[in-house]
Structure 1
Amino acid sequence: MKEEGRTESGGLFEDRDFPDEDASLFSDRFTPIARLQGDITWLRPQEICQAPALFPDNINLAHVKQGLLGDCWFLCACTFLLKSKQLLNKVLPPDQPQWGDSSYRGSFRFCFWQRGHWTEVTIDDRLPCINSSLCFSRCHSPTAFWVALLEKAYAKLYGSYEQLWAGQVSEALVDLTGGLTEHWSLGDFGLEEEEEGERTEQDSDQVRRRRLDLNLLYPVRDDCALSCSTHSTPGGVSELDQYHALTVMEWLDVKKLSEGEVRLLRIRNPWGRCCWGGAWICGAGWSTVDPVCASDLRARVAEGEFWLDEAEFMTHFDDVTVGYPISEEGHLKSIYTGNLLPHSHQLTGRWVKGHSAGGSRNSSGYSSNPKFWLKVCEKGEVLVTLLQHRKRKNPEKHAQTPLEDSKNTKHQHYQAIALHAWKVEKKRFNLSRMLNKPPCASTHCHAYEREVVLRRQLEPGYYLLIPSTYQPGAEARFLIRVFSSSATSLSALKSPAPSLPLTTDGEWETSYFRGSWVEGRTAGGSRNFLSHWQNPSFPFTVSDEPSGVNVRITLQQSRPDTDLHPIGFHVYQVREGESEQTIPRDEDPVASCIPHCYTQDVSHACSLPPGAYTIVPSTYQPDCSANFTLSLARRTHRKVVKSQERLGKAIQEVSHISVMQS
């Protein structure tokens, strides 16, 4: 975002894009901060205290303290920045003029990772206050303002402060680091295991990953970000609301006076006060360990922190978010093996209704989803993630959603998504046969998460990746990311996927054709022009008796969104004994995709009797050059066998409808 604003008479910057008005504070007015309307004033730090600074001399006083805004999820991620100067400098570029500097102009720059790239956000330093004190987040030091300014920049990125009420720690961690997170549930896996019964070998890995094992994280415990949250009021957390996130500052194994060890975790509450009444607060727990060690550990506790043991941790919290460590060189480090993952790639994609939003493997349109090639050069650890772009809130719907219902909040912003991978042994393969087989790796179930992660040790070779939403026709943009210990490459399949009717009484076989409209030769334009018949033509036959829609044609032009031609196509019947070159010029088409549209692709489904046909794709005006791809899907009469997946449950890999043949 560019810095746009004006200066006061004193030369201080005022941000016109995020002004000191209610529009910057409120969006839907559905949260408790809506009651503050009319009570908030905007002050610069030098108007709040005498000697403001970004950071205090004592780093312990730089930690966050939550204000009246329900953004504990964001503040937990902010706490992690204090553990890594490298990441902090990325988000808050150093050497910016501060208060008291001759070059200070009242503005600060921040950077956030958004949709695959770092985005700069510039703000002025006017902050929301009540009675001359910050009303939202602050540092424990009253003269340090890095947290309040970072929170304002994040609010500008989201649209308002109120948009930060309720969220996911995992999203904030990725926005602040550009890295990767995983989400583990502590409380519901046991019931699910009983319900699911027997599992495949692939599914058992998903159970292991959902069941948090702190031993797994022990090698990276000093480098990874760890946050815990509760969705209901547990016995130990006496004053927590229905959802609250806290930060795990450190954890270690301590020898007991008797036998064995006890694992202790130091937790920080962003409220800035202790909210725990367990054995390690009242003192009973400390009597079981060496007094010198106990004294040292208790001395580490700062304001808002407390110790608890692993049993209490696993019992009283509902889930955990783990942020992958990031090396000084900016490479991800695996939380499973501790290995560096120095090779990375990313590509964008989208699910488009009627074209590439094929739904889950339950759907007959599954293979119309976008597809990607992953080449693994050497055996190694590979992480593939699917990150969908956030949907904007619907104010009317959001106002009716309970604030505490984090699951409903996720459903508002995101589709249920999953990622499957198949190993391709040969360069030429039959896609429909391959999709009948279980994938070699998958995220196993569709989840309402911004990002899902697939992790495997993969052998060298080619892998086909298919990201999908649970519901057919669900639209969203997404980002595929790959992190690996060995060399890999990632590319998108260029052929457009067909848009298939969701029938249950047959299969679809698809053919692809590539062509070009060339000025002066094959760019004949629409039927309004005599040169129409100069356009390329593509013959095909229909052999089966129709029963409803039996042909689906999709035309996609290969041009950027900013320079599209209006495109369309006609289907003509070829009479017996004729060829497509001898079709009478006054022959009416038997099917058409018109009017011509300024879009990347157009599609048309129709029912055609058995016979010979030809497709003539065209631009509206003659002499408009472009490359294009045509996909032709024809229905055949073979029985459909579906995969069965229930949303949020592991997939039962039975078999899947064969929907497309390459």
Structure 2
Amino acid sequence: MKGEGRAECGGEVLAEDLDFPSDDKSLFSDSTTPISRLQGNITWRRPQEICQSPVLFPDNINLGHAKQGLLGDCWFLCACTILLKNKHLLNKVLPPDQPQWGDSKYRGFFQFRFWQQGHWTEVTIDDRLPCINTTLCFSRCHCPTAFWVALLEKAYAKLHGSYERLWAGQVSEALVDLTGGLAEHWSLGDLGSEEEQRPEQDSDQVRRRRLDLNLLYPVRDDCALSCSTQSSPGGASELGQYHALTVLEWLDVKTSSGSKVRLLRIRNPWGRCCFGGAWIGSGAGWSSVDPVCASELQARVAEGEFWLDEAEFMTQFDDVTVGYPITKEGHLKSIYTGCLLKHFHQLPGRWVKGHSAGGSRNSSSYGTNPKFWLKVSERGEVLVSLLQHRKWRKMDKYAQKPPEDSKNTKHQHYQATALHMWKVEKKRFNLSRMLNKPPCASTHCHAYEREVVLQGQLEPGYYLLIPSTYQPGAEARFLIRVFSSSSISLSALKSPAPSLPLTTDGEWETSYFRGSWVEGRTAGGSRNFLSHWQNPCFPFTVCDDPAVTSGVNIRITLHQSRPDTDLHPIGFHIYKVSEGASVQMIPRDEDPVASCVPHCYTQDVSLDCSLLPGTYTILTSTYEPDCPADFTLSLARRIHRKVVKSQERLGRAIQETRSRALLGPEHSRRLKRPQEQMTSGRIEGMK
């Protein structure tokens, strides 16, 4: 385990996670939430120090549900319920057969996995848990000797940076992180809320759709359903702020009059009922149901659970989150049709100010947003999601705002985004003319959500997807995911980057280098791999004239010598090195001064940049190791030399072609080495 320390306990050597230590650094991020009052009162204990015979799961699985502690993470705990219903999802998040307490192989740590930005990420923790005296102060199981919830919560806190960062969130986000699937947020209350009347909206905005339980009935046993409230249902004053609860089951029950009533069993993470209705305890509603049926349904209610009928459910809660079912084979099941969506593609992207952050359709720069080709081979159901990377709030700025202000918090974490799609009849088309037409499908309004989803039945053909932020110039990284019942392909349409300013007081000098990525030797792959530094390197100097102190324009192009049908994703990084030093002397956690990433499936990738005088090296790579290929690298440097002015004139104008550039490296929040991502698809045109 990274950052591992050691501790002795009963003769056994137990791990201590130094990256997520048992102190205030792991508990608090900005000390703006109510748990900041716990500073100085927390002790950290292992499960065997809390009870005599700890286990991960109790024999009675109903006692394995989460019970919320002093941390405001009901949103996360509601999502955890889906794991108890689906063994294959639980095994994905918590790999089975890990040594536990009492096992001779037990060493005091556990491994978990969470889905992050398109990939499963492993998180390892030790099992020291925050307590007040000898009692867990945060989430736990209803069974006091079961610890899977407390350990999963700690791993999720480590992923986010601290326990405090789990205070307030969206059930949909936790569901996606725990399943790798999709989740949608639907309204139950009055349409047209204050937030939906904000000025951040397109000309084609529609109000958030209302939930129709009949739509979900075919998948009711497989999907995850959570409800939330921002008011006080049933007059329960303690629910006067945002709170999420879980819908465990729902069914239609025949009444004595012959009609049917739909009942929903709700679990409150607080572990107690905060609602008074016709079906609570021995409420009046049960008198209308057959006594045997009533007795059976009432017997299902455990601690913190209660029944509501559909009318009560629709009026007492404000919205619901629906998590898509996922089969044991890993396929998504549509909540709209129940169809299996066996075909899947995903691609990363980013909005860059001045380059690809074009804003909404209200803006004249909308056409500069990232664009993606979607090819549909046969008619079928297609789901497209736009998931943006979370941006963590700045502590000093956030501290000025109340932590319970969920709207402000959400807006600081995410940009307002939307996704629009046009059907393209021909491979060549006029972009401006097409964008003036209504899209064939869209998410309609820009929403401050981590993920927005577009669904529809699509005919065969080509479609253009354009994700956008509401404000022009708003920067963020994102992931486009497509799930479909029929065969599809997804590729990025590259837009040229702005060229360097034209200069009239200098000339360009170009050098050419040839190199090879050799399997097992110099094909080291991207920065995600330790072998990255085995890739070919090409040193160069930028202007050794001491009189030059400003930046010098550099133009670098990497060309791979492979057929167009068998390309590797390629890219390169530029590192600053000391004079006379080799690439082996560069610290392995050193950030490049410039990069041409993400890696792209194309013959050529280029970067224009400005570098200060000094010594540099270019490190070229494929995305994965051991991808052999020959390549050519061209390096053009502007020479600081005065040009003799003359009256000569050209008889014909010369047009310069603009190279394509991707600005800046992509970083990972969790690993020391940035997690690079690659785009799949050609530079131009469609497959």
TM exceeding 0.5: yes
TM-score, normalised by the number of residues in structure 2: 0.74
The yes-or-no answer on 1:172 pairing with 2:174 is yes
Aligned partner of 1:56 in structure 2 is 58
- Asked if structure 2 preserves the Cα contact closer than 8 Å seen for 1:3 and 1:123, the reply is no
Aligned partner of 1:543 in structure 2 is none
The yes-or-no answer on 1:270 pairing with 2:272 is no
- Asked if structure 1 preserves the Cα contact closer than 8 Å seen for 2:555 and 2:608, the reply is no
CA distance 1:383–1:560, shift in 2 (3 Å): farther
Please give the per-residue CA displacement for 1:591-624, whole angstroms capped at 9, x wherever unaligned: xxxxxxxxxxxxxxxxxxxx9565487xxxxxxx
Q: Distance in 2 between matches of 1:269 and 1:457?
A: 37
Q: CA deviation at 1:80?
A: 1.4
Q: Distance in 2 between matches of 1:295 and 1:562?
A: 71
Work out the percentage of aligned pairs sharing the same amino acid: 75
Q: CA deviation at 1:534?
A: 14
- Asked if structure 1 preserves the Cα contact closer than 8 Å seen for 2:22 and 2:128, the reply is yes
Q: Distance in 1 between matches of 2:18 and 2:441?
A: 49
Aligned partner of 2:473 in structure 1 is 473
Q: CA deviation at 1:157?
A: 0.4
Task: Give the 3-state SS of the residue equivalent to 2:477 in structure 1.
Answer: strand
The amino acid of 2:15's aligned partner reads F
- Asked if structure 2 preserves the Cα contact closer than 8 Å seen for 1:238 and 1:276, the reply is no
Aligned partner of 2:571 in structure 1 is 559
The yes-or-no answer on 1:279 pairing with 2:310 is no
- Asked if structure 2 preserves the Cα contact closer than 8 Å seen for 1:324 and 1:335, the reply is yes
Please give the per-residue CA displacement for 1:397-436, whole angstroms capped at 9, x wherever unaligned: 2223223322221101000000011111011111111111
Q: Distance in 2 between matches of 1:338 and 1:120?
A: 31
Q: Distance in 1 between matches of 2:349 and 2:284?
A: 55
Q: CA deviation at 1:324?
A: 0.1
Q: Distance in 1 between matches of 2:154 and 2:315?
A: 35
Aligned CA-pair RMSD: 3.3
Q: Distance in 1 between matches of 2:234 and 2:392?
A: 36
The amino acid of 2:135's aligned partner reads S
Q: Distance in 2 between matches of 1:260 and 1:11?
A: 64
- Asked if structure 2 preserves the Cα contact closer than 8 Å seen for 1:137 and 1:147, the reply is yes
- Asked if structure 2 preserves the Cα contact closer than 8 Å seen for 1:267 and 1:307, the reply is yes
The yes-or-no answer on 1:519 pairing with 2:493 is no
CA distance 1:194–1:613, shift in 2 (3 Å): closer
The yes-or-no answer on 1:34 pairing with 2:36 is yes
Task: Give the 3-state SS of the residue equivalent to 1:12 in structure 2.
Answer: strand
Q: Distance in 2 between matches of 1:471 and 1:126?
A: 44
Q: CA deviation at 1:568?
A: 5.0
Consecutive unaligned residues of structure 1, counting only runs of 5 or more, are: 500-515, 537-556, 570-584, 590-610, 618-627, 632-660
CA distance 1:454–1:561, shift in 2 (3 Å): farther
Task: Give the 3-state SS of the residue equivalent to 2:354 in structure 1.
Answer: coil
- Asked if structure 2 preserves the Cα contact closer than 8 Å seen for 1:136 and 1:148, the reply is yes
Aligned partner of 1:335 in structure 2 is 335
Q: Distance in 1 between matches of 2:125 and 2:150?
A: 12
- Asked if structure 1 preserves the Cα contact closer than 8 Å seen for 2:555 and 2:609, the reply is no
Task: Pick from 49, 65, 68 the counterpart of residue 67 of structure 2.
Answer: 65
Q: CA deviation at 1:3?
A: 3.2
Q: Distance in 1 between matches of 2:91 and 2:156?
A: 16
The amino acid of 1:251's aligned partner reads W
- Asked if structure 2 preserves the Cα contact closer than 8 Å seen for 1:187 and 1:318, the reply is yes
Give the paired residue count: 543
Aligned partner of 2:561 in structure 1 is none
Aligned partner of 1:148 in structure 2 is 150
Q: Distance in 2 between matches of 1:74 and 1:191?
A: 25
Task: Give the 3-state SS of the residue equivalent to 2:486 in structure 1.
Answer: coil
Q: CA deviation at 1:164?
A: 0.4
Aligned partner of 1:227 in structure 2 is 226
- Asked if structure 2 preserves the Cα contact closer than 8 Å seen for 1:371 and 1:467, the reply is yes
Task: Pick from 24, 27, 43 the counterpart of residue 25 of structure 1.
Answer: 27
Matched ranges for 1:223-622 at <5 A: 223-281=222-280, 282-496=282-496, 519=512, 559-561=571-573, 564=595, 567-568=608-609, 587=643, 612=653, 614-615=655-656
Task: Give the 3-state SS of the residue equivalent to 1:11 in structure 2.
Answer: strand
Q: CA deviation at 1:493?
A: 1.0
Aligned partner of 1:503 in structure 2 is none
Please give the per-residue CA displacement for 1:551-607, whole angstroms capped at 9, x wherever unaligned: xxxxxx9833467487359xxxxxxxxxxxxxxx95489xxxxxxxxxxxxxxxxxx
- Asked if structure 2 preserves the Cα contact closer than 8 Å seen for 1:373 and 1:492, the reply is yes
Q: Distance in 2 between matches of 1:12 and 1:286?
A: 54
Aligned partner of 1:137 in structure 2 is 139
Task: Give the 3-state SS of the residue equivalent to 2:154 in structure 1.
Answer: helix
CA distance 1:221–1:518, shift in 2 (3 Å): farther
More divergent stretch after superposition (28-37 vs 395-404): 395-404
Aligned partner of 1:76 in structure 2 is 78
The yes-or-no answer on 1:629 pairing with 2:660 is yes
The amino acid of 2:250's aligned partner reads W
Q: CA deviation at 1:102?
A: 0.4
Q: CA deviation at 1:295?
A: 0.5
Please give the per-residue CA displacement for 1:528-562, whole angstroms capped at 9, x wherever unaligned: 99xx99999xxxxxxxxxxxxxxxxxxxx983346
Q: CA deviation at 1:185?
A: 1.2
Please give the per-residue CA displacement for 1:514-534, whole angstroms capped at 9, x wherever unaligned: xx977179x9999999xx999
Consecutive unaligned residues of structure 2, counting only runs of 5 or more, are: 500-508, 515-537, 546-551, 557-568, 576-594, 597-606, 611-640, 646-651, 663-684
The amino acid of 1:382's aligned partner reads V
CA distance 1:113–1:195, shift in 2 (3 Å): closer
More divergent stretch after superposition (185-194 vs 329-338): 185-194
Q: CA deviation at 1:187?
A: 1.6
Task: Give the 3-state SS of the residue equivalent to 1:296 in structure 2.
Answer: helix
Q: CA deviation at 1:186?
A: 1.3
- Asked if structure 1 preserves the Cα contact closer than 8 Å seen for 2:352 and 2:476, the reply is yes
Q: Distance in 1 between matches of 2:270 and 2:333?
A: 31
CA distance 1:453–1:220, shift in 2 (3 Å): same
CA distance 1:630–1:342, shift in 2 (3 Å): closer
Q: CA deviation at 1:152?
A: 0.4
